[in-house]
A = this chain, B = another copy of it.
Amino acid sequence: MSGIKGLRVAVVGATGVVGREMIAVLASRRFPVADLLPLASERSAGEHVEWGGADVLVEALDDDAFEGIDLALFSAGASVSERYAPLAVKAGAVVVDNTSAFRMLPEVPLVVPEINAHALVGHRGIIANPNCSTIQMVLALAPLEAAAGVERVVVSTYQAASGAGRDAMDELRDQTIDLLNFREAKVKHFARRLAFDVIPQIDTFQPDGRTREERKMIDEPRKIMERPDLRVAVTCVRVPVFVGHCVSLNVELRGPLPLARALEVLRAAPGLVVADRPEDFPTAADAAGQDEVFIGRVRIDDSVPHGLDLWVVADNLRKGAATNAVQICEALLARDLLRVP
């Protein structure tokens, strides 16, 4: 990327857990940022974020905030993206949006760069970053799809509190302290107490009994993998972990794939770290702060002809959100696609 003039980059939701991580990842991956513009709601404007060793003032998001901006990363909720992302595009910025606002629109690329960077070509200004659990799941599935075809997936998740934001992390901490001190744990953000319990609900319920999170994990892999017929059964569960999502993945392949070969194709895939031995399985703590997706417990499931079980772990704030978003920015830059058509 030598010779590139630095870009003017806005981060919307700069004070949130993902926003802060986006700024950290832009720095750690040396994305060519000339100016960083952290934006947030009126409530958080006036705070500071660290950039280049200095404290940068967070400005209030308004209709004119995107003047002169080349690239805007959004992570402030779907309603904020719905309202402001079109304004950013109008002002000439390319938007990489971490919310669910635009993911399923046919004209919006939904991208995990290791899998479908080609989908960026012809974008109309907005690129969607997939759901956190989806990203780690499709990164595990893509090499298996290429090697043998994926017929059906049954997945159960173990998702960290940070997927619901900073307040949710605080709530887990406060509930834990309350319980250890024989006080009643207060429930605010989550549907139930999360400390020392698990909650089989992420996002709201739909009429079919699925949660919206579960619907995302059915729809988004279909789009990213360009497999509208992909069959997915999913249960999403919040666990009392601060950072790092785990998924238990049962895969029914279309054709035979010996275990040794499955391990080989997973190891050769970009962005994956595959455990050598069963006892080297990754956990949330191993993935926290890392950009890769970690895979362990790969084993044959003989309950179907071509079955495989896997345990897939990633930092939901990094590869599940900020890192993937910045990798999208890198892919746009590398393909000279960082402009609004």
Interface residues of A (CB under 8 A from B): 152-154, 156, 158, 173, 176-177, 180, 191-193, 196-201, 205, 208-210, 231-233, 235, 237, 239-242, 244, 246, 248, 250, 259, 278-279, 281, 283-285, 296-301, 303-304, 307, 309, 311
Contact = CB atoms under 8 A, between A and B. Distances in A.
Contact of A199 (B176, B191, B283, B307): B283
B198 A239 contact: yes
Contacts of A209: 259, 278, 297-300
B197 A284 contact: yes
A248 B241 contact: no
A196 to B, nearest CB: 5
A67 to B, nearest CB: 43
15 contacts: A152-B303, A153-B303, A156-B156, A158-B158, A198-B239, A198-B246, A200-B248, A201-B278, A201-B279, A201-B281, A231-B304, A232-B303, A235-B248, A235-B250, A240-B241
Nearest to A278: B205
A180 B176 CA distance: 9
Contact of A303 (B191, B231, B298): B231
A279 B231 CA distance: 25
